[in-house]
Amino acid sequence: MVEIESVTFEHHRLDDNWGIGEETPRISWSFTGNAKDWIQSTYELDIKYAGPEAKPAETFRVDSSESVLVPWPAKPLRSREPAQVRVRALGKDGSETQWTNWRYVEVGLLTREDWKAQVVAAPQTLTPSNSLQPALFRKSFELKKPIQSARLHITSYGIYEAQINGIKVGDHVLAPGWTAYKYRLNYQTFDATDLVKQGENVIGAEIGEGWYCGRLGFNGGWRCLYGDKISLLAQLEVTYEDGERVLVGTDKTWRTAVGPITSSEIYDGETYDASLEIDGWSTSKFKDDEWATVEELDFPKAKLIAPEGPPVRQTEVVKAKEVIKTPSGKYVVDFGQNLVGWLRVKVSGLKGHTITFTHTEVLENGEAATRPLRSCKAQDNLILSGKPIVWSPKFTFHGFRYVQVDNWPSGERALANLEAIVIHTDMQQTGFFECSEPMVNKLHENIRWGMRGNFVSIPTDCPQRDERLGWTGDIQIFSPTANFLYNTSGMLSGWLKDLAVEQIHDLNGVVSVVVPNILPKEYTMPQAAWSDAAVMTPWDLYTAFGDPEVLRTQYESMKIWLEKGVARQENGLWDPAGHQLGDWLDPAAPPSEPGNGKTDPHLVANAYLVHVTHLMVKICKVLGLEEAARYESQATKLTKLFQDEYTTSNGRLAPDSMTALALAIGFDLFADEKQLGYAAERLDKIVRASKFKIATGFVGTPLILPVLTRVGKTQLAYRMLLQKRCPSWLYPITMGATTMWERWDSMLPNGSINPGEMTSFNHYALGSVGSWLHSTVGGISPSTPGWNSILFAPIPGGTITSAKTSFLSPYGKVECSWETEKEGSGEGGKKKFKMKATVPPNTTAEVKLPGNEEVQKVGSGVYEFESEYVDDEEWPPKAHYAPFSQHEDMDD
């Protein structure tokens, strides 16, 4: 039996449908059930409308197998207009699903004219570090009749928390999030019906400087990049039961003051003086006669945007594991997991007593290691009032596992009274993986934690030091892994629009290395692999979610990047005089020179240029654009130029590093099968000569294992995966890592921290290996964009004898589990392979079993397969010039 599991609108999470920005939201539904070969033939949509000008309900019946992002069939919704939708699907076999429950959706404010409120600013109050002290805003108002509904539309210049009648509005944190504020400013819509009442009411907001006014960037950073005033734009719209609507918006009648948060900065942390608390400041009992009047500002020039992705929320609470007394006598609390968020503290003590919390990712020589934070203090201060308090910061966040607690009141138990609150953009987890090797499971867990910590409003490089920027190269290489682990579609689509608007309006076609761009012009030179995120990340989103709109929306950005942004020499390749980051953090690069690796940076740049030009051909074909032929001609020409510049007739590369060969094979840069075969054997020798240690940086890492698999050397890939000596994926786990590191050796084997300036212990880039774990070890990947057709093709290897992988696709749950059993004794014996595959309704699949070249095609359902195979490669593979012996540790 088949049923519809969920109904969603556009790329919004199931319950994040308040105040969306799409007037004709596309509708999707996924399925449950194990029916064999079930394909939808027809769907029916019922739509009900609400509001004072509600249209009559409508029913639509469409003969189509489409169930993902189907067009809105009715007239466009207007600003503020709600609707309810339910769906029923009919199968080609004549079966019907039940009608789904009604799913609610409501449009936000679609036009500038919908906004009647004004932006209001607080007076500047500078802290000793020249940051802006957070400000309070409030407005009293009366509601004279019984209330039907209330909606709050709100944004800020800074980070806000709103309250109505003393109660926090919504569950968002760090709102409105970080966007290219000059052009795009998110606002949020909340249902405030249960917070307002007939009679006297108060709406309030507390705002910190956040990304808008705060210090951002490295080498000391820059302040007030977008503006120098903490400001609020809020519009509360209340509908009475008789249909009358009243509006309470920010204007010059609002009042402002400062409160107990005396300073709050993204990098340096927050100071809270509990003795300065203003009881009931957002309730009608409080009198604000001594508060200052606000300053009215011009309405934002930026476009006010309803977010496409979910907000940042508190998603998990982690209890403290241990209190450590350091050699110097300090007390450090260990939470057992490197995470991103803040503390929740329960404490009491004498008035004026100050507790300091310093957040670090690791210990060095038994002490909290602050050097990797650079100029970031990551320090919160709580000044007690003499009363018990439960406290967390509001307008900062930290990346940490350890917290050094200084001046904790005597008699209090720190371990019991400290909790870590995990925050991140609240995307739905969609990908799951486990196998028989515990360390590989830990690797996958670390990849997921690294992603959570670096998806905080934007995809960042790291969450702890004086940076936390949207580095384009990092997300470009990690997006295939990210798109499997979580539903990133809404968040990354919005971020790509920020990329495009700054590229086109500010940077003359160049894609910045960080988005939003906060860097001076000397940093915004065109960079292969980083700037190529303009083409590659939209393509990855299309592959994962099957939505051609992301390609259509980003096409102008892609085109301008290739035609205007790339710094070319006369023949069309990259200008050799320009600086390129290359294979960043190649393990062979000196700690002080992370870009000085083995691979010629311009080989990297030109390999990427050929690749993205080929991608443009595919993108144009998806969009039905005639420009496909022109890009195809360019790609052919660039490929030949690359071959002339970097390859010999036999297929040797100059240079032939691990990264260079991975790029050339992975991007199809060789002229023929002969060259490819030579390159594959050359890569084999290099991998063995490295004793299976990794020799790639950021750009080579996502390709090395897929390329080995592609050329039939999957056992070499497994050998690299399972290597424990540095540099390798498992080495950090032997050192206690709970997230992915920026460097392969962020911590050295002796426990000291890498002396390089860039030494983060929470970077997701090297976690790009997750994509290979999902597709090759786990065995599932989309064979058509969006998972309408699925490929099951696990390749067992190494010491892994079983794996289970699942993915919540747009159509339903895809699952693959397998195990191997060796038959007989001795080397080279046959192995029995057993696999169970779940194909969701309304999809098809291709199944390729190990030892069998035949591809089986199946429809929906649950299937079990068995096959026999013989490993075509030895295990464990032998190192080149250093033969493996049974008496030698496998990691040597």
Catalytic residues: 467, 742
Q: Dihedral sign, CA of 529, 534, 535, 537?
A: positive
Maximum alpha-carbon separation in the chain: 89
- Residues ≥6 apart with Cβ < 8 Å to 399: 338, 339, 340, 359, 361, 378, 453, 462, 463, 464, 465, 762
Contacts 24+ apart (CB under 8 A), 243-249: 243/52, 243/148, 244/145, 246/143, 247/116, 247/117, 248/139, 248/141, 248/203, 249/115, 249/116, 249/117, 249/118
DSSP labels for 111-167? SGGG----EEEPPP-B-TTSPBPPEEEEEEEEE-S-EEEEEEEEEEESEEEEEETTE
Measured CA to CA, the distance from residue 24 to residue 44 in angstroms comes to: 17
Angle at 585 between CA 580 and CA 588, to 5 degrees: 105
135-143, strands of its sheet edge to edge: 167-168, 159-164, 199-208, 135-143, 255-258, 292-293
Question: Among 35, 72, 134, 161, which Cα is nearest to 838's?
Answer: 35
**Do 788 and 764 form a contact (C-beta atoms < 8 A)?**
no
CA dist list (Å): 75 to 20, 101, 481, 741, 834:
16, 22, 38, 50, 51
Q: Where are the alpha helices (DSSP H) in 456-547?
A: 472-485, 489-505, 533-545
Give kind and range of the element (H or E) at residue 844. strand 844-848
Burial of 325 (0-12, 13-18, 19+ CB in 10 A): exposed
CB of 485 within 8 A of CB of 516?
no
| Displacement of CA 866 from its chain's centroid (Å) | 37
Rounded Cα gap, residues 694 and 703, in angstroms: 12
Pairing of strands 844-848, 789-792: parallel
Q: What angle do CA 600, 466, 119 make, to 5 degrees?
A: 120
Q: Residues 476, 184, 225, CA angle at the centre, nearest 5°? A: 85
Kindly state the tokens that stand for 355: 């507790």
| Tokens (6 digits) for 609 | 């240029």
**Is the separation of the CB atoms in 182 and 259 below 8 Å?**
no
Structure tokens at 691: 């004793």
Query: CB neighbours (10 Å) of residue 835?
Result: 22
Report DSSP state, residue 299: P
H-only helix segments in 527-627 = 533-545, 548-560, 601-623
Distances (CA, A) of 848 to 357, 780, 793, 856: 54, 11, 5, 7
Q: At a CB cut-off of 8 Å and minimum separation 6, what does 513 contact?
A: 471, 472, 473, 519, 523, 524, 527, 530, 531, 581
Residue closest to 601 by CA, chosen among 674, 534, 525:
525
DSSP letter (8 states) at residue 51:
S
Exposure of 828 by Cβ count < 10 A (0-12 exposed, 13-18 middle, 19+ buried)?
Answer: exposed
Strand ranges in 660-812 using DSSP code E only, listed in sequence order: 780-782, 789-792, 802-808
Residue with tokens 């709580």: 382
Q: Cis bond leading into 655, ω under 30°?
A: yes
> Do 201 and 141 form a contact (C-beta atoms < 8 A)?
yes
